[in-house]
Structure 1
């Protein structure tokens, strides 16, 4: 048989959650300037448009240096190109990590809020079950009293 009575600890938790109103308490903190920049960089660098543009620029760079249309400023093995790409990776990787860390923090706060809302809902349902059971029990006692009076009247 399921348990529909809540313990005193659960009652205290429920009262705290009712006062807190967890469904309304998850206010997203506005991101700072650095966080907005990190999000913008991650959004740009993580797009197909960026990959296609960068691939095109790399192909042009390599093509111009192989065909010598313009003076070979970076002959094979393209050391300057490797330096530019390493520089780009060295700066974008930490910026992307900052954006991911902020996103995971927001996800963690949302998950915690969802958990608190679920606990509150569970406790509220158990409290409602207890109230319904109490009302049903009162109704049964009233009906028994009525039946007893009817029996007394009939046998009387």
Structure 2
């Protein structure tokens, strides 16, 4: 008896039981399951619902629906008795209008939900674009401020000329000479650009 148990244990892999099912391979796709309900493409159904909802919201739909209702009522009032299909209380017309309304409301809601999703995505993209624009504007503002600070420390020609004239005057006073003050660096003759300053 003991040898038989050992041979059975050798044949079965470790951890397997008699009731275990064969394992599916993970490197292969699962076989498609049969479904009882019909399958549809949600994107195509959403586009169709948007087209229907867009048509339901137009004046053309109201005109066509009014024409159909008037023809329905006139036919069932004025047609010969054996050709009338919906007598005076027009119960069948009421049923058809209720059926149309019961389908129109969910289609309109579905179209609105899809529009809300698109608006949410557009709003998120706009928010990210605004954040990038604000960051770029702040960077450019810092750069312009740095340039202004740098330009505030740059010496211009007029400033250097006035400083040198002041130094010459101080040198003349130090030499105790009472000579007339000569203009060492004459002012610019024209507001245009000097050839010598290149």
What is the TM-score when the length of structure 1 is the normalising length? 0.69
SS at match of 1:143: coil
| Number of matched pairs | 125
| 1:82 pairs with one of 89, 94, 97 | 94
| 2:67 pairs with one of 44, 53, 56 | 56
Distance between the aligned counterparts of 1:119 and 1:45, measured in 2?
Answer: 39
Distance between the aligned counterparts of 1:147 and 1:109, measured in 2?
Answer: 58
Q: What do the CA deviations read for 1:95-114 (whole angstroms, capped 9, x no partner)?
A: 11111110121112112222
Rg larger in structure: 2
Q: What do the CA deviations read for 1:53-86 (whole angstroms, capped 9, x no partner)?
A: 1111100111111223353321121111111111
| 1:114 pairs with one of 121, 126, 131 | 126
Distance between the aligned counterparts of 1:114 and 1:37, measured in 2?
Answer: 28
For structure 1, which segment, 49-58 or 70-79, has the greater mean C-alpha deviation from structure 2 after superposition? 70-79
| 1:135 pairs with one of 144, 147, 169 | 147
Q: Partner of 2:114 in structure 1?
A: 102
Distance between the aligned counterparts of 1:123 and 1:55, measured in 2?
Answer: 56
* 1:32 positional shift: 1.4
* 1:149 positional shift: 9.2
What is the TM-score when the length of structure 2 is the normalising length? 0.56
Distance between the aligned counterparts of 1:125 and 1:99, measured in 2?
Answer: 38
1:36 aligns with 2:47: yes
